[in-house]
Amino acid sequence: MTAARGDGPRVDLGPAPTQEDLAEVYDVCVVGSGASGALTAWALAGAGLSVAVVEQGGHVVDGVSYDDLLADSEAAWVRQENGTWGKIGYPWTTCNVGGGTLFYGGAFFRNRPVDFDAETALGAAELPLRWPFGYDELEPYYAAVEQLLGVAGEPGADPTLPPSSRPYPLPPVARSAEGALLAEGASALGWSPFATPLALNTRGHLGRPACEADAPCICRKCPIGAKGDALRFLDPALRRGARLFAGLKAVRLRTAGRAATALECARVDTGARYEVRAHRFVVCANAVQSAALLLRSTGDRYPMGLGNTGDLVGRGLCFKLSEYVVGYRYNGGPGESATMGLGPFSTCAVTDLYEDPAAPGGLGGLLYEARPERPFRLRASEQLVRVEALVADEPQPGNRVRLGPGTDAHGVPDVLMDYQAHPRDLARLEHVLGQAERALSAAGCTVAVREPSGWALGSSHLHGTCRMGDDPATSVTTTDGRLHDADNVYVGDGAVLPFPGGVNPTLTIQAVALRTAHRLLRDVYGADTSRLNLEPRYATTSATAETA
C-alpha cells in the first residue's frame, strides 16, 4: 500500500496491523521512528523488551526528495506576517519512517556548556532556562551516540567545548573550496574554524561504506547508507524483535487512573482505527506532534490533556532562529567551469561567537558552511560560500502548540503553532549575521547576499513543549522524561529541552533519548546500564514487568 500526492507514490505504508499484532500487550510502545524514537526502540529492544514502534509516515520510496515529502506532510496553523492565521506551517522535519534524518546534512554538534544554564548569560526568564542537569551529565551519552553512528570530526578543535571522553570514531571531512573560503575569513578575524562534525562515513564504518560525494548530501536519502540516519538504529531494533507499524497516526493515549493503557491510532490512508496496548509509552513524535498528542489525550483525570495538569504542555515552543549569507569572490582570470556543491553538507564551522560579550545578552551563535540542496556551476575564477547563522531562541510561555480550529480527513484536530520571536533573539541573530558578513569580507568576498531560511514556520528545529525538570510547576516531565502526572508515559524527544541551544539539535536530542531509555531500563526493569557499550546487552530482572 502506498500513499501519495501528485505524480506518484512518495512512501510505502506497508500492511495494516493484524489482530495478532493488536492482541499483544507490548512492554513499551514508542511513538515516532525518527532520531529519538529509533534510538529508543533500539535501546529497549536490545534489552530484550517487546517494543512496538508507531509511525505516521511510511517508508520512503527511492528517489523521493525532502521537498516531495514535505509537500505531502500535514501542515499546521501559524501566525502570518500580516497577523492572520494560515495553515502553512511545518510541524515536522518530514513525516516518514526514519523522520527528517533521512534528509538532513548530518551536522552533529554538541550543545555548549552554557546551553545547560543559559541564565548565566541571558538572566532569568518567564520559563526557567536552566536544565535540571549539566553538560557533564550528558557527555557520556554524547560520546556514545557519536560512536554508534560513526561521527566524523576533528578532536579538540572546537574552542567552546570541553575535551570529549572519547575521540570521534572517524576522521573529519576534507575541507571544500567553499569551506576554505569561510575558514580564510574566520582566521583573518582571529577565530578558530574547524571541521564541521558530521554523522557521515568518511571511511567504511560498522559495515557501511564511505561517502562517495557524488551529489549534494542534504535533502535526499543516502542511496548507499553512508549517512548517519535513524535507520542505523531502527533496522537493528527490528532485527531484535521490535515491531514497526507505519502509516498509523497517533490520535490519543487512553488512560485508566494515572496510567496510559493504549495508543489509539488512525490509518492515514483509510481512517481505520486501531489500538496498540503496552505497559509503558515513550512519546518521540517531535516537539510539536508529541505535545499535540498529549493535548488530544483527554479524560476524566486529564480534562486538559495528559501531562497538562499545570497547563504547560505545548508551552515554551522553540524553533531556533537562522538565516543564510551567501558570499561571492572573484579571483580574476579565465578558467573552465566546474560543478560545486557535491558531497558533504558542511566542512567548516565557527563557534567563537557563541559566548560573545558584544552580542545582545552576551550570547551569540553558530556559523557554518551550509551547502544548498542543488549543485551549481562556477568558473575557476569564481568562488561562492553559503554560510548559515544559527542562534537559540528564549522559551516563552506564550509560544506554544495548541489544537487548531479544524480536523483532518479522519476527524483528528489540527495542530496550531503560536509563535513570535523575542525581540532580543532577533537582535542576536542580526548580530551573528553581521559577523558572518565581516568574515566574508575578510575573505575577499565583494558581495554578500542574505537568504531567508523560513525558520518562523517551524520545520527542522523543534524544541521545548514538554519541558523536563524537578518542579511540576515549571516542567511537564521529570528529569528522566516521565510525565509528572502519569506513571507510565515518557517523552523522549526534543520537547523536553528546557533551552534549545544554538546548534543543530539532532545529537543532543539523541543523547537525551538514550539517557531517558537508560533510566527507564534501570529504574523500571532493573537493568545494569552502568556501561555505555557500542552493542549494549542489558541484563533485566523482568522484561515484562507490569505497570507499577
Nearest CA to 368 out of 178, 215, 531 is that of: 178
Q: Is residue 377 exposed (0-12), middle (13-18) or buried (19+ Cβ within 10 Å)?
A: exposed
Q: Within 10 Å of residue 21's Cβ, how many Cβ atoms?
A: 15
Which grid coordinates belong to 539? 541484563
State the catalytic residue, choosing from 461, 463, 484, 518. Answer: 461
Sole residue written with cell 536490545: 46
Q: How far apart (Å, rounded) are the C-alpha atoms in residues 251 and 432? A: 41
Q: DSSP string covering 427-472, please? A: HHHHHHHHHHHHHHHHTT-SEEEEEE--GGGBSS--B-TT-B-S-T
3-state SS string over 112-126?
CHHHHECHHHHCCCC
Sole residue written with cell 512518495: 10
Backbone angles phi, psi at 83, to 5 degrees: 90, -10
Is-contact 348 161, C-beta < 8 A? no
Q: How far apart (Å, rounded) are the C-alpha atoms in residues 413 and 410? A: 9
Which residues does 454 contact at the CB level (< 8 Å), separation at least 6? none
Give Rg (Cα) of the chain: 22
Nearest CA to 148 out of 506, 479, 520, 503 is that of: 506
Q: How does 143-165 read in b/e, with b if 16+ C-beta sit within 10 Å? A: bbbbbbbbbbbbeeebebbeebe
Q: How far apart (Å, rounded) are the C-alpha atoms in residues 447 and 329? A: 7
Is-contact 389 366, C-beta < 8 A? yes
Does the annotation mark 518 as catalytic? no
Q: DSSP string covering 291-331, please? A: HHHHHH---SS-TT-TT-TTS-TTBT-B--EEEEEEEEEE-
Sequence-ordered alpha helix ranges (H) in 150-230: 177-188
Which grid coordinates belong to 385? 560560500
Q: Using the 8-state DSSP alphabet, how is residue 200 labeled?
A: B
Nearest CA to 294 out of 496, 151, 115 is that of: 496
Q: DSSP string covering 509-540, please? A: HHHHHHHHHHHHHHHHH----SS--SS-----
Q: Which residues are catalytic?
A: 461
